[in-house]
């Protein structure tokens, strides 16, 4: 049983092997068929395409037919048998295989099939199974020797190679002989959807390395033709358009594509042949569409921020914050190169970039948009011009006040491009080569302009520069640079030296001598002009007209008169200069200051407008050839010069007296100073560690006294020059005593006996003090005596003048009531002559007095001249019996006499007041409100102390103090309050003569003081008293302030520029003109100009100023 089964299995295994070989044979055969199909179809379609040049459709049909045919063969003859070989697909059954095997092996025939059938029958009939299996085994035994697989011979497939070898041979033949058939045919079949043209006898060769260009650029296409035949012309097809290429030579052609914006496809054509399509790759160009610039100016320029659109080149002030905002296209980054430094910006938003920089220096700003495709774009360059804040400049001119040596006037100009923050005068004092610290004076300046003029007056007295010291000074201006910090510019450093007292005194003496010399010269000139006018008048009496020579002589007289006026003007200016120097040298006494002012007034009034009017009238009359009126004007000129002579002679005498008084006062002050120094040295010498320093100081004192001694001798000489000498005697005895003491001191110092010099020094100091007091007393006595005599003489003159006035008035009425034909008329003429002789005596006395009394103004001499002139004319008219004309002249003379009497009366009142104040027992100088305020303040303090003492002693408010020290203090305070009240009442009377009450209600203040006096007398101090005293002090201070303001106004009204000399006014006028010119120039500059042009305008104006 088991053997039967194993045999059958073996039989089935052999059949399965046959089946597998069966399918393997099919695969081999299918491969041969597939190769034949591939070779044949490939040859067919490639040759067909090569020669047919089919279009895309046919090539597509050929390509896909080739694929489908061979895929079908592959699937049918190879793929399916392979599946069956691996038993993955359907296979033939064992029965079918048995038939194939039986057909191959003839002796088997149906045995194998019957065996299989018996096996099946045995399975279906178990009862007969053993019998059937025995038959099966018998048959199997017959079949076992037969190799079933040999029924299939794979080598028999060689016969099918006849289908594959011919097409393969054709392929090989063509491959070696015409490979282009396969290469080109295969290429066109494989690229069935690509359009191929018929191969031309030439080739289009593009010489460009690549067909790539940046958007907006041009591309020049260069073509070279290669081949057996070269066409005459080549065309390029760009869409629907066709262009002929430019022919460079036989084989080279070119064409330029302009402003390419997008990718462009084209092909070349010539004589019906076409190239493959070409595509120009256009890269997106990064570009700058627009931008704006925000400018934030430095705060100190006071300029509003602004935004500019698409402004490339910029001109900005230094320190300006500049912010750009760029709007771009196709840009991924923005390269900004500032000079040599490059910054790469990333977009804040798409295609939006921002960049900021501070304007510090000029720069070349280059901008380049970039993206991944284009990185070599051109830079867009702009110029940034930064206008630096320049240093300011300063120009200063100076002038020393010739009339006030302690004043320097400066006029200057400062320039800057934006404005100023500060202008100052810096100075330091150099004392014997040792420099002090710098001090500064701020000067107002217009800070918001680029050019400003300034004027500054420097009071050297307030600068505390002492005689003999030097001042080193310069001006410094600072600009308003808020970015770098203010920059400064300095003017030239200059040095000024203040004369020592000795140098100033020497200059004053020299100037005084010069003034006297010039006055003598002026008197001689006036006499010469008077004489010339008199002679000319005499020559013109008998002539009808003026000849050329006479006109020339009159012109010469007028020129001499002009020279005289200039000469007098020089004297006046030099006198002012001299007085200022003298007043700087020492603080003058009130009496000397008064005389100085009176003489200065005389100088100012010596030439009036009437003199100038006479000169102008004569010039006009000469042009009109008017002889009669010219004579009259010459007569006036003669009289005017005669009056001028007298006035100059009088001023000269007064000037000599003033010079003497000033010198005497100066010597007295010197001796007082020397006395103080000697006394201080007497105290310091015994304690001094340095003998040399004591000797040096003593030598300086000795030298000072020797100078004073010389001054006293000079005083004696000056006194002798006076017409009426002062009661002065050189105190030689006192000088000798002082010199003896100084000699003793020097001897002791030379012997190094310092301890023995203190007493002699004190003695010398006391004697110098006594000598100074003697000189001062001598001067005071001289002034008092002079005033007394002047008052006495003035009273006599005034009495005679009044008598003459009454007689003249009486005579005037007699002439008016007497007929010219009356016998007594001649007596009236004689009376007028007698009156003239009497007035002549008055005039001589008055002229003599005027040479000693400066209060007599120059108008006095002019009134005298008018009296003489009118009386002379009245006598002439009376002689000619012309009563009306004589009466008119008499009336004029009477008016002048009365005017003169009134003037003399006022002068007498002034002299009496001066004499009263100068008397030792007199009231003395009236106290000022400032002094009264201080006295009242001290009184209030004393009252407060007394009240505190009363509280300490238990005295209640309102109760009397009782007897004792407090009572005495109360009485003393009552007396002091009374003195203050009386002084206040006197001031109130003097100031309120005209009823204007300039200082308020001082009378009420006096009443309050009187109430306080009552409280003090009753020895009571109440709260009410204390409050009243505080009110009194407050009102006194207010009145003092009002008095100062009144004095300031009076000085400004009466003598404008008493401290501000003509030099000051001339410089100030020039400064005002300069400021006016600046204002007018500024009006011509439009405010809307940009910064650049404003600077240019400023430079232009400065250039004009420099010319």
pLDDT at 935 > cutoff 80: yes
pLDDT band, very low/low/confident/very high, at 373 (cuts 50, 70, 90): confident
The predicted model gives 1035-1043 an average pLDDT of 78
- In terms of domains, do 167 and 106 share one? yes
Rounded-to-integer distance, Cα 218 and Cα 280, Å: 11
By DSSP bridging, strand 235-238 and strand 264-270 are antiparallel
- In terms of domains, do 350 and 438 share one? no
Q: What percent of the chain has pLDDT over 70?
A: 74
Choosing from 283, 309, 336, the residue where a domain stops is 283
> Residue 795, Cβ neighbours under 10 Å: how many?
14
pLDDT band, very low/low/confident/very high, at 924 (cuts 50, 70, 90): very low
**Dihedral in degrees, nearest 10, Cα atoms 936, 941, 942, 947:** 120
pLDDT band, very low/low/confident/very high, at 632 (cuts 50, 70, 90): low
pLDDT tens for residues 8-47?
777 777 777 777 888 888 888 888 888 888 888 888 888 8
- Can you spell out the DSSP letters for 471-531? EEEEEEEEE--SSS---EEE---EEEEPPPHHHHHHHHHHHHHHHHHHHHHHHHHHHHHHH
Give me the pLDDT at residue 1065, please: 55
Give me the pLDDT at residue 1057, please: 41
The predicted model gives 347-356 an average pLDDT of 88
In a domain, 142, yes or no: yes
- In terms of domains, do 129 and 248 share one? no
pLDDT at 236 > cutoff 70: yes
In a domain, 636, yes or no: no
- In terms of domains, do 343 and 419 share one? no
The predicted model gives 208-232 an average pLDDT of 88
pLDDT tens for residues 646-682?
766 766 676 777 777 777 778 788 888 888 888 888 8
Higher pLDDT: 533 or 921? It is 533
Give me the pLDDT at residue 387, please: 87
Choosing from 248, 283, 318, the residue where a domain stops is 283
Choosing from 242, 265, 283, the residue where a domain stops is 283
Partners of 494 in the beta sheet?
473
Q: Among 119-128, 203-212, 1086-1095, which stretch is predicted with the lowest mean pLDDT?
A: 1086-1095
Structural domain count of the chain:
6
Partners of 847 in the beta sheet?
none
pLDDT at 220 > cutoff 80: yes
- In terms of domains, do 343 and 409 share one? no
Give me the pLDDT at residue 252, please: 92
pLDDT band, very low/low/confident/very high, at 1054 (cuts 50, 70, 90): very low
The predicted model gives 850-872 an average pLDDT of 71
- In terms of domains, do 949 and 878 share one? no
- In terms of domains, do 824 and 973 share one? no
Rounded-to-integer distance, Cα 614 and Cα 562, Å: 12
Give me the pLDDT at residue 616, please: 63
pLDDT tens for residues 566-580?
777 777 777 777 666
Rounded-to-integer distance, Cα 61 and Cα 65, Å: 6
pLDDT band, very low/low/confident/very high, at 1047 (cuts 50, 70, 90): low
In a domain, 696, yes or no: no
In a domain, 978, yes or no: yes
Q: Is residue 439 within 8 Å of residue 427, measured between CB atoms?
A: yes
Nearest CA-CA partner of 711 in 767, 771, 777, 781: 771
- Judged on CB neighbours under 10 Å (0-12, 13-18, 19+), 270 is buried
Taking all residues of the chain, what is their mean pLDDT, rounded to a whole number?
A: 77
Q: Among 70-79, 574-583, 763-772, 826-835, which stretch is predicted with the lowest mean pLDDT?
A: 574-583
Rounded-to-integer distance, Cα 341 and Cα 1059, Å: 66
**CATH number assigned to the domain comprising residue 237:** 2.60.40.10
Rounded-to-integer distance, Cα 210 and Cα 222, Å: 11
Neighbour order of strands in the sheet with 246-247: 202-206, 219-227, 252-257, 246-247
What size, in residues, is the chain? 1107
Which two tokens mark 605?
Answer: 């009034």
Give me the pLDDT at residue 1055, please: 42
In a domain, 526, yes or no: no
Nearest CA-CA partner of 398 in 1071, 1059, 1060: 1071
Rounded-to-integer distance, Cα 236 and Cα 258, Å: 14
pLDDT band, very low/low/confident/very high, at 1053 (cuts 50, 70, 90): very low
Indicate left, alpha or beta for 437 from its phi (over 0: left) and psi (-120 to 50: alpha): beta
Residue whose pair of structure tokens reads 């066409």 in the numeric block: 231
Domain span including residue 244 = 197-283
Q: Is residue 628 within 8 Å of residue 617, measured between CB atoms?
A: no
Report CA-CA distances (Å) from 120 to 94, 113, 125, 143, 662. Answer: 12, 11, 9, 18, 180
pLDDT at 464 > cutoff 60: yes
In terms of average pLDDT, the best of 390-394, 758-762, 782-786, 801-805 is 390-394
Report CA-CA distances (Å) from 882 to 825, 848, 866, 887, 888. Answer: 11, 35, 20, 9, 10
pLDDT at 478 > cutoff 80: yes
- In terms of domains, do 205 and 223 share one? yes
Within 164-218, strands assigned E span: 202-206, 212-214
**HSE-CB of 841 using CA atoms within 13 angstroms:** 14
Q: Is residue 11 within 8 Å of residue 143, measured between CB atoms?
A: yes
In a domain, 364, yes or no: yes
pLDDT at 379 > cutoff 80: yes
- In terms of domains, do 375 and 245 share one? no
- In terms of domains, do 162 and 33 share one? yes
In a domain, 363, yes or no: yes
The predicted model gives 456-467 an average pLDDT of 78
Q: What percent of the chain has pLDDT over 90?
A: 3
The predicted model gives 463-476 an average pLDDT of 82
> Residue 432, Cβ neighbours under 10 Å: how many?
7
Nearest CA-CA partner of 1033 in 1009, 1001, 999: 1009
Give me the pLDDT at residue 1059, please: 46
Report, in this order, helix, strand and coil percent for the chain, each rounded to 5: 60, 15, 25
Partners of 206 in the beta sheet?
223
* Phi, psi of 497, deg, nearest 5: -110, 135
Which two tokens mark 157?
Answer: 């497939």
Give me the pLDDT at residue 850, please: 66
Give me the pLDDT at residue 279, please: 92
Give me the pLDDT at residue 1052, please: 47
pLDDT tens for residues 262-302?
888 998 888 878 888 899 998 888 888 899 999 998 888 88
Q: Is residue 540 within 8 Å of residue 630, measured between CB atoms?
A: yes
DSSP 784: H
- In terms of domains, do 970 and 1045 share one? yes
Neighbour order of strands in the sheet with 393-400: 393-400, 407-415, 451-459
pLDDT at 248 > cutoff 70: yes
Nearest CA-CA partner of 911 in 861, 988, 852, 843: 852
Give me the pLDDT at residue 1051, please: 46
**CATH number assigned to the domain comprising residue 820:** 1.20.120
pLDDT tens for residues 151-190?
777 788 888 888 888 888 888 888 888 887 878 878 888 8
In a domain, 752, yes or no: no
pLDDT at 588 > cutoff 80: no
Nearest CA-CA partner of 584 in 651, 480, 503: 503
Give me the pLDDT at residue 601, please: 65
Partners of 267 in the beta sheet?
237
pLDDT tens for residues 681-727?
888 777 776 777 888 888 888 888 888 888 888 878 877 877 777 77
Which two tokens mark 668?
Answer: 């007295």
The predicted model gives 1073-1085 an average pLDDT of 55
- In terms of domains, do 373 and 406 share one? no
Give me the pLDDT at residue 1034, please: 81
Q: Among 391-400, 419-428, 722-731, 806-815, which stretch is predicted with the lowest mean pLDDT?
A: 722-731
Give me the pLDDT at residue 590, please: 59
């Amino acid at each position: 049983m088991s053997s039967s089964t194993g045999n059958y299995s073996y039989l089935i295994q052999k059949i399965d092997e046959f089946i597998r070989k069966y399918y393997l044979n099919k695969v081999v055969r299918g491969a041969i068929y597939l190769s034949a199909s591939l070779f044949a179809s490939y040859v067919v379609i490639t040759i067909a395409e090569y020669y047919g040049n089919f279009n895309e459709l046919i090539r597509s049909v050929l390509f896909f037919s080739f694929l489908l045919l061979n895929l079908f063969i592959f699937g049918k003859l190879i793929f399916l048998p392979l599946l069956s070989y691996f038993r993955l697909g359907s296979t033939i059954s064992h029965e079918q295989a048995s038939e194939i095997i039986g057909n191959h092996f003839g002796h088997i025939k149906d045995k194998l099939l019957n065996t299989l059938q018996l096996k099946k029958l045995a399975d279906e009939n178990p009862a007969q199974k053993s019998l059937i299996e025995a038959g099966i085994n018998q048959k199997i035994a017959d079949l076992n020797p037969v190799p079933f697989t040999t029924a299939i011979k794979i080598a028999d497939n060689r016969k099918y190679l006849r289908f594959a070898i011919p097409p393969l041979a054709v392929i090989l033949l063509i491959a070696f002989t015409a490979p282009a058939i396969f290469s080109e045919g295969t290429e066109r079949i494989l690229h069935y959807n690509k359009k191929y043209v018929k191969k031309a006898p030439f080739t289009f060769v593009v010489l460009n390395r690549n067909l790539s260009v940046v958007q907006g650029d041009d591309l020049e296409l260069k073509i070279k033709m290669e081949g057996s035949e070269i066409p005459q012309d080549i065309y390029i097809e760009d869409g629907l358009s066709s262009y002929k290429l430019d022919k460079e030579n036989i084989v080279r052609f070119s064409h330029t594509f302009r402003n390419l914006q997008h990718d462009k496809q084209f092909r070349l054509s010539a004589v019906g042949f076409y190239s493959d399509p070409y595509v120009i790759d256009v890269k997106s160009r990064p570009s700058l569409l627009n931008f704006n610039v925000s400018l934030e100016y430095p705060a100190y320029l006071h300029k509003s921020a602004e935004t500019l659109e698409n402004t490339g080149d910029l001109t900005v002030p230094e320190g300006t914050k500049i912010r750009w905002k760029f709007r771009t296209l196709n840009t991924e980054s923005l390269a900004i190169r500032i000079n040599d430094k490059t910054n790469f910006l990333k977009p804040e938003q798409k295609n939006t970039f921002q960049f900021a920089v501070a304007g510090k220096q000029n720069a070349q700003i280059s901008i380049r948009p970039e993206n991944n495709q284009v990185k070599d774009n051109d830079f867009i360059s702009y110029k940034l011009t930064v206008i630096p804040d320049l240093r300011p400049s300063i120009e200063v001119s100076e002038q020393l006040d010739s009339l006030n040596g302690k004043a320097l006037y400066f006029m200057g100009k400062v320039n800057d491009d934006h404005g100023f923050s500060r202008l100052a005068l810096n100075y330091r004092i150099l004392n014997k080569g040792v420099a002090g610290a710098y001090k500064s004076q701020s000067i107002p300046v217009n800070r918001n302009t680029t050019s400003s003029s300034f004027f500054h007056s420097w009071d050297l007295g307030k600068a505390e520069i002492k005689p003999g010291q030097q001042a080193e000074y310069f001006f410094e201006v600072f600009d308003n640079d808020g970015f770098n910090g203010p920059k400064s510019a300095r003017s030239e450093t200059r040095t000024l030296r203040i004369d020592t007292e000795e140098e100033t005194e020497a200059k004053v003496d020299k100037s005084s001598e010069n003034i006297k010399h010039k006055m003598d010269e002026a008197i001689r000139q006036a006499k010469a002009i008077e004489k010339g006018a008199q002679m000319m008048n005499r020559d013109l009496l008998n002539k009808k007209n003026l000849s050329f020579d006479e006109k020339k002589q009159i012109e010469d007289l007028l020129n001499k008169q002009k020279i005289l006026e200039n000469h007098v003007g020089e004297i006046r200016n030099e006198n002012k200069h001299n007085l200022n120097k003298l007043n700087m040298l020492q603080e003058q006494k009130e009496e000397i200051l008064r005389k100085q002012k009176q003489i200065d007034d005389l100088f100012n009034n010596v030439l009036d407008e009437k003199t100038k009017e006479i000169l102008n009238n004569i010039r006009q009359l000469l042009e009109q050839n008017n002889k009669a009126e010219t004579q009259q004007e010459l007569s006036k000129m003669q009289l005017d010069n005669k009056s001028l002579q007298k006035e100059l002679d009088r001023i000269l005498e007064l000037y000599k007296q003033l010079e003497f008084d000033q010198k005497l006062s100066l010597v007295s002050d010197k001796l007082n100073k020397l006395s103080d120094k000697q006394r201080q040295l007497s105290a310091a010498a015994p304690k001094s560690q340095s003998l040399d320093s004591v000797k040096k100081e003593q030598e300086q004192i000795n030298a000072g006294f020797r100078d004073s001694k010389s001054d006293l001798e000079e005083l004696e000489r000056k006194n002798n020059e006076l017409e009426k000498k002062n009661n002065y005697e050189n105190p030689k005895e006192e000088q000798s005593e002082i010199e003896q003491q100084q000699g003793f001191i020097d001897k002791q110092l030379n012997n190094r006996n310092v301890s023995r010099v203190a007493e002699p020094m004190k003695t010398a100091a006391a004697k110098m003090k006594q000598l100074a007091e003697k000189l001062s007393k001598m001067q005071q006595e001289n002034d008092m005596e002079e005033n007394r005599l002047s008052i006495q003489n003035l009273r006599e003159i005034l009495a005679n003048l009044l008598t003459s006035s009454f007689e003249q008035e009486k005579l005037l009425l007699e002439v008016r009531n007497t007929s010219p034909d009356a016998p007594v008329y001649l007596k009236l003429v004689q009376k007028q002559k007698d009156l003239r002789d009497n007035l002549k005596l008055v005039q001589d006395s008055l002229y003599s007095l005027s040479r000693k009394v400066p209060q007599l103004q120059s108008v006095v001499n002019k009134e005298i001249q008018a009296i003489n002139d009118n009386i002379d004319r009245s006598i002439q008219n009376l002689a000619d019996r012309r009563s009306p004309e004589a009466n008119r002249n008499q009336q004029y003379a009477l008016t002048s006499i009365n005017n003169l009497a009134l003037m003399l009366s006022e002068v007498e009142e002034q002299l009496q007041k001066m004499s009263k104040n100068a008397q030792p027992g007199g009231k003395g100088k009236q106290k000022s409100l400032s002094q009264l305020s201080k006295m009242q303040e001290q009184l209030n303090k004393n009252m407060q102390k007394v009240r505190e003492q009363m509280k300490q002693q238990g005295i209640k408010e309102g109760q009397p103090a009782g007897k004792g020290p407090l009572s005495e203090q109360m009485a003393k305070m009552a007396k002091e309050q009374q003195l203050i009240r009386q002084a206040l009442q006197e001031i109130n009377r003097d100031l309120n003569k005209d009823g204007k009450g300039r200082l308020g209600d001082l009378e009420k203040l006096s009443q309050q003081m009187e109430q306080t006096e009552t409280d003090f007398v009753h020895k009571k101090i109440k709260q009410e008293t204390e409050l009243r005293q505080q009110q009194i002090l407050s009102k006194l201070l207010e009145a003092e302030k009002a008095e100062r303001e009144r004095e300031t106004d009076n000085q400004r009204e009466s003598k404008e520029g008493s401290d501000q000399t003509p030099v000051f006014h001339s410089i100030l006028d020039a400064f005002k003109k300069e400021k006016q010119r600046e204002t007018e120039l500024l009006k011509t500059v439009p405010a809307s100009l940009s910064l650049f042009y404003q600077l240019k305008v400023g430079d232009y104006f400065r250039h004009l100023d420099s010319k």
